[in-house]
Structure 1
Amino acid sequence: MDDNRTNLKKQAILELIGQKGGKSSACLSGDWTLSNLTIDASLQKNIKQAANNSHLHWDLHSVNVLDNATALWLWQAWGQSLPAELEIKPEHLRLINKWQSQTVPDSSSPGFSVALTANYLAQMMANVFKQFLDFVTMLGQLLLDIGHLLRHPGDIPWPEISITIFESGVRALGITALVGFLIGIVLSYLSALQLKLFGAEIYIIDILGLSIIRELGPLLAAILVAGRSGSAITAQIGIMRVTEELDALSAMGISHSLRLVLPKVAALTVVMPLLSVWTSATALIGGMFSAQNTLDISYQQFLIKLPDAVPLLNVFIGLGKSAVFGLMIALIACHFGFCIKPNTESLGNETTNSVVAAITVVIMVDALFAILFMDVGMP
């Protein structure tokens, strides 16, 4: 018997009394908690129906427990205003008054708005313009640092340059060789299928030579370095921001540009042409391997015909593009690294932005080179 009474006290009860002093009354009793409201869905429906009567008298004196979430729910059911006639305990009234002084966010969908869309586009353009200004500022500071090093060669940060060359160049030889070799095999195999139809198997040397040395070799190496080394540079600078190492360098009077940006730019500008040659060589080896198996073109025949099919000028075009790719990848990686705020979420976002921006810029620069040197180096 006592257990039944205890359970009744813990339940949320709503009683609608027809007449009390000539007015209808809604009496609430028991424990008005979020769990009780969730269990009894009909209770929520009855409260909302009763709240539609603006002349209803509300009696909450018998409520034993009223939690914060239920107070918010009652406040919203009443139309975010207290009923004209309300009897409630002072401690429960304070809970409702707390929501009365706060703005509850609207969970409904805002829908399409021309003004909001225009504002979003304006903010996006302003952000892009700011990023561009910061990038140009970094490039200008880099030129000033180069001028300083020309006057003071003893300040050249050789250790930072050498470690970046090792990390971005030497340790990337394996993955670039593997990707280059496989791309050479795929390109040679697909080209062989079409050349067989016209009896022009020997022209596979021209196709592989021009496409790999002039375009695919530098582009593949740049994309791999942007994803591998570019992200590492951005994350490294970001970690220095999070651990306040950048502030420590500033406090000691050490230039961020001279010690962080310039070594990475110099290293990648030197490394990228070398990686481009390495990737092109492995891709040509893969192409020779596939051509020998599919078209019966020997390795000796391939190597003898290659210099005639590909003028030497194409090699210099590939090397020049690779140097520009390395410069842009390093600058973009450092730029986004300095954009990182001292929190882990910003670190992940800016590292992703760095890789995406670097690969996009590499492809855009490659397209620009293709247009500018369209008639240069053709056999």
Structure 2
Amino acid sequence: MFFIGERAEPALDAIERDGKLYGVRLSGEWNLRNLCEMPALRRQLRKYARSKSGLHWDLETIDVLDNAAALILWQEWGRTLPEGLAIRPEHLRMLERWQAQEVSETAPPKRDLGAILLFLYGFIADFYRQTLDLVTLLGQLLLDVGYLLRHPGQVPWTEISITIYESGVRALGITALVGFLIGIVLSYLSALQLKLFGAEIYIIDILGLSIIRELGPLLAAILVAGRSGSAMTAQIGIMRVTEELDALSAMGISHSLRLVLPKVAALAVVLPLIGVWTSGSALLGGMFSAQNTLDIGYMQFFLKLPDAVPLLNVFIGLLKSAVFGFLIALVACHFGFKIKPNTESLGNETTNSVVSSITIVIMVDAVFAILFMGIGMPI
């Protein structure tokens, strides 16, 4: 054994009996630093580990063994412990840890039918609870509307106006930008196909129907769900964390009357307006692209649009937007009240709120498309 200062170098000695190789003895400090400085020792270890099976490995004289050296030994032994192994208990635990990790990584996953059924049961039960809570919140909202009809002086106009400003006025910029760009993209892609058939004038019909009836309300709803819906959920969640909800309950103030109703009413009113604003921006983008790609003037576009898109499509878009706003606010408040007083729950439920709102909006849009399939279409 060699010493450099107070550090013992790792050593590897062959053990012979009757002139034959019987085993290998390791001594010294087997750590990553020493092994990196002695590549010849690594080659010698690999040589003995692969030359003959059934060797006796004596590791009891090792002074220091760290995790890196244990991993190197484990790999050189072929990821298994040799049969003839003499080692200290504390060093053996390090090797067994690598062995247990190897078994857990290589073991194939078991397909347990009971676990699958249990997962499905949990999913269905959670969906049932979520639906029941949402219906309960909707019922409480209807009771609040009935109460306000009897007591109109208690309508929370201040909260409604603040929500209209936050969710509507402050969203005009992003909705206009997204709508304008979507109009350009849709017009450009449609123009490429219409040129092949010499039907460039029908781009007005395509843009008018797709934007006013579908894309405008849907884009506005998705943007509002991501922007305002998440803010509503986070606002109620922060009130839970800071115990403001408990304070309101102690003062006898209804959560649904002061928090849910203003948000639902404001979004149901403001989202149709944002939908019209988004549709107008998208049509402007479509006109801009049609002027540059198909040489269709703005005046021609304006004159042809009322004939291509019946007025009933505008009312369908407004109705869809109102329903979207109602559902987005209701879902946002539902997940807001589910937040527990910790930051992890706040982030998770806010994410669930946005994902659920967008999913419900798309599902309801599909239902509207089926119900109004033959209504408002040009003859």
User: Normalization by structure 2: what TM-score?
Assistant: 0.74
Q: Output the CA distance in 2 between the equivalents of 1:336 and 1:43.
A: 63
In the alignment, is residue 133 of structure 1 matched against residue 132 of structure 2?
Answer: no
**Corresponding residue SS for 1:17:** strand
Q: Output the CA distance in 2 between the equivalents of 1:46 and 1:38.
A: 17
Provide, for residues 95-142 of structure 1, a one-character-per-residue CA deviation record: whole Å limited to 9, x for no partner: 6468879994445244464438x8458526733651453144133223
Classify 1:23/1:133 alpha carbon distance in 2 versus 1 (closer, same or farther; 3 Å). Answer: same
Q: Output the CA distance in 2 between the equivalents of 1:339 and 1:33.
A: 52
Q: Which amino acid aligns with 2:314?
A: V
Q: Output the CA distance in 2 between the equivalents of 1:335 and 1:103.
A: 48
* 321-330 or 170-179, which deviates more: 321-330
- The offset of 1:341, in angstroms, is 6.3
Would the aligned equivalents of 2:27 and 2:63 in 1 still touch at CA under 8 Å? yes
- The offset of 1:5, in angstroms, is 3.0
Provide, for residues 240-282 of structure 1, a one-character-per-residue CA deviation record: whole Å limited to 9, x for no partner: 56xx22x452365266555544433332222211111111222
Classify 1:303/1:85 alpha carbon distance in 2 versus 1 (closer, same or farther; 3 Å). Answer: closer
What is the 5 A alignment of 1:168-179? 168-179=167-178
**Corresponding residue SS for 1:378:** coil
Classify 1:9/1:202 alpha carbon distance in 2 versus 1 (closer, same or farther; 3 Å). Answer: closer
Classify 1:46/1:131 alpha carbon distance in 2 versus 1 (closer, same or farther; 3 Å). Answer: farther
Flag structure 2 segments of 5+ consecutive residues without an equivalent.
none
Partner of 1:326: 325
Classify 1:366/1:149 alpha carbon distance in 2 versus 1 (closer, same or farther; 3 Å). Answer: closer
Would the aligned equivalents of 1:80 and 1:100 in 2 still touch at CA under 8 Å? no
Flag structure 1 segments of 5+ consecutive residues without an equivalent.
none
* 6-15 or 64-73, which deviates more: 64-73
**Corresponding residue SS for 2:3:** helix
**Corresponding residue SS for 2:374:** coil
Of 3, 24, 34, the residue aligned with 1:5 is: 3
User: Normalization by structure 1: what TM-score?
Assistant: 0.74
Partner of 1:359: 358
Partner of 1:58: 58
**Corresponding residue SS for 2:28:** strand
Q: Output the CA distance in 1 between the equivalents of 2:87 and 2:123.
A: 54
Partner of 2:28: 30
- The offset of 1:52, in angstroms, is 5.9
What is the 5 A alignment of 1:1-379? 5-6=3-4, 9-19=7-17, 24=22, 26-37=24-35, 40=39, 41-42=42-43, 45=46, 53=54, 56=56, 58=58, 60=60, 62-67=61-66, 86=86, 88=88, 93-94=89-90, 96=92, 104-105=100-101, 106=103, 108-111=105-108, 113-115=110-112, 119=115, 123=119, 126-127=122-123, 129-131=125-127, 133-151=129-147, 153=151, 156-191=155-190, 202-237=201-236, 244-245=241-242, 247-250=243-246, 253=249, 257-291=256-290, 294-299=294-299, 302-337=301-336, 351-379=350-378
**Corresponding residue SS for 1:268:** helix
- The offset of 1:70, in angstroms, is 5.1
Q: Output the CA distance in 2 between the equivalents of 1:183 and 1:330.
A: 25
Classify 1:321/1:334 alpha carbon distance in 2 versus 1 (closer, same or farther; 3 Å). Answer: same
Identical residues among aligned pairs (%):
57
Q: Tell me the C-alpha RMSD between the 2 structures.
A: 4.4
Would the aligned equivalents of 2:54 and 2:83 in 1 still touch at CA under 8 Å? no
**Corresponding residue SS for 2:367:** helix
- The offset of 1:239, in angstroms, is 5.0
How many aligned residue pairs are there? 364
Provide, for residues 209-266 of structure 1, a one-character-per-residue CA deviation record: whole Å limited to 9, x for no partner: 322221121112112222322333344455556xx22x45236526655554443333
- The offset of 1:378, in angstroms, is 2.1
- The offset of 1:376, in angstroms, is 1.2
Q: Which amino acid aligns with 1:281?
A: G
Provide, for residues 303-328 of structure 1, a one-character-per-residue CA deviation record: whole Å limited to 9, x for no partner: 45443433332222111111222233
Provide, for residues 17-70 of structure 1, a one-character-per-residue CA deviation record: whole Å limited to 9, x for no partner: 2249x995643321122444566534664685699648x37362x433234665
Q: Output the CA distance in 1 between the equivalents of 2:97 and 2:193.
A: 75
Would the aligned equivalents of 1:142 and 1:262 in 2 still touch at CA under 8 Å? no
Classify 1:201/1:6 alpha carbon distance in 2 versus 1 (closer, same or farther; 3 Å). Answer: closer
* 247-256 or 321-330, which deviates more: 247-256
Q: Which amino acid aligns with 2:245?
A: L
**Corresponding residue SS for 2:112:** helix
